[in-house]
Amino acid sequence: MITITRKLEFDAGHRIPDHRSQCRNLHGHRYVLEITLAGEVSRESGASDNGMVMDFADVKALANEHLVSVWDHAFLVYEGDTAVRNFLDTMPEHKTVVFDRVPTVENLAAAAFDKLSHVFDAHYGRDLRLVRLRLYETPNCWSEVTA
């Protein structure tokens, strides 16, 4: 097996409602997402991805379609954070993503891994799988989920 990693970035806002520091306030981050896939190298002569585990452009396109474009420039809010949800509901067509848990980087990484593993695992019928997802909240802080 060989692994490949693709990095993507997006911006989103959130808050941690019960946090004892400034993170309880509305704020945003430039998130960095690293997707690591493991699989066999394609040996299909004439195929566009011959010699690759998966074409990096395809990794990007699928991640954008299923996650990045959904979360980018959205407010990521916990369903139990009624004060913020009520406020966001006053803005028609506001881009809001509601989570069943507090949107900490740990919970966001777990949600992203769950969503993307269904997209990448066994893609193209090959033994391909998502083996690691790392989500940076800041350049110095991240959460990592491994298969």
How many angstroms separate the most distant Cα atoms in the chain? Answer: 58
How far apart, in Å, do the first and last CA atoms of the chain sit? 14
23, 66, 106, 123: which is the annotated catalytic residue? 23
The two structure tokens encoding residue 24: 């309880």
The number of angstroms, rounded, from the C-alpha of 132 to the middle of its chain's C-alpha atoms is 11
Annotation marks residue 65 as catalytic: no
Beta strand segments in the chain, E: 2-14, 27-39, 74-78, 96-99, 129-138, 141-146
19, 73, 94, 118: which is the annotated catalytic residue? 73
Annotation marks residue 141 as catalytic: no
Catalytic residues: 23, 73, 137
